[in-house]
Structures are given as C-alpha cells and as structure tokens.
Amino acid sequence: DQQVKQNSPSLSVQEGRISILNCDYTNSMFDYFLWYKKYPAEGPTFLISISSIKDKNEDGRFTVFLNKSAKHLSLHIVPSQPGDSAVYFCAAWGHNNNDMRFGAGTRLTVKP
C-alpha cells in the first residue's frame, strides 16, 4: 500500500532557480517526515526532517513545508545547484512505528 506518494518521477530546473519537490501521504498517524537524497551507487542520505507539530523547517538552502490538513509536504531548494541533482525520497514515521515508509522518489536534474 502506497501510504507515501511522490507523483512526479522527475523534475528539471535551471541552476539558481527554485526546486520544489512534492509528497503526499494518506496515513494520518504519521507524525514525523524526512527527506533523503540519493546519488547513484550510494545509500540515501538524510537531508532534512519535520515534526507534525511544525509547518516549516529550514536548513540553509533547504526548507520543508508541511500541510497536515492536506496531508502534503514539499521540499524547496533555493538556489538550486548542479550538485543537487539526485533522487529525492520523502519518508514518514508513525508514532510507535519502527517502519519508515518511503515514497517512490523524484529524480531532480539541475542544469547549469
């Protein structure tokens, strides 16, 4: 069951512009959300997270927004850099769960 969905398999943006990656979820028990970045031949690396008690978390060029009523979160990267080109996974934890649910990923390409 796809409890975490990333409906855009790919996204291409110009260097210096904003990248917006979207994620939707169906399980209202999820209370902690994460974004991971994955380069080829490497494991996913943690990027940024947000608790369900917040609606925004910022870390440098990366900001995650959470809209609980819409069960939607997004990752904004500003400004985008070619080194940001990777697959981005949205993931969610439920309270009392040890089972992290991932979306299918969005491949971001930042063109110079």
Partner 1 sequence: ETGVTQSPTHLIKTRGQQVTLRCSSQSGHNTVSWYQQALGQGPQFIFQYYREEENGRGNFPPRFSGLQFPNYSSELNVNALELDDSALYLCASSSGLAGGSSGNEQFFGPGTRLTVL
Q: Give the interface with partner 1 as residue ranges (CB under 8 A).
A: 4, 6, 9, 31-32, 36, 41-46, 51, 89, 91, 93-105
Structure tokens at 51: 């608790």
- Beta carbon of residue 10, minimum distance to partner 1 (angstroms, whole number): 11
Instruction: Look at residues 14, 25, 24, 41 and name the one whose alpha carbon lies nearest to residue 108.
Output: 14
Q: Considering the complex, what minimum distance in angstroms separates the CB of residue 57 from partner 1?
A: 12
Compute the least distance from the CB of residue 77 to partner 1, in Å.
19
Tokens of 28: 């209202």
Nearer to partner 1, 69 or 98 (CB): 98
Tokens 């992290």 appear where? 100
Q: Which is nearer to partner 1, 19 or 103 (CB)?
A: 103
3-state secondary structure of 46: strand
Nearer to partner 1, 14 or 46 (CB): 46
Q: How far apart are CA 106 and CA 109, in angstroms?
A: 10
Q: Which is nearer to partner 1, 60 or 95 (CB)?
A: 95
The number of residues making up the chain comes to: 112
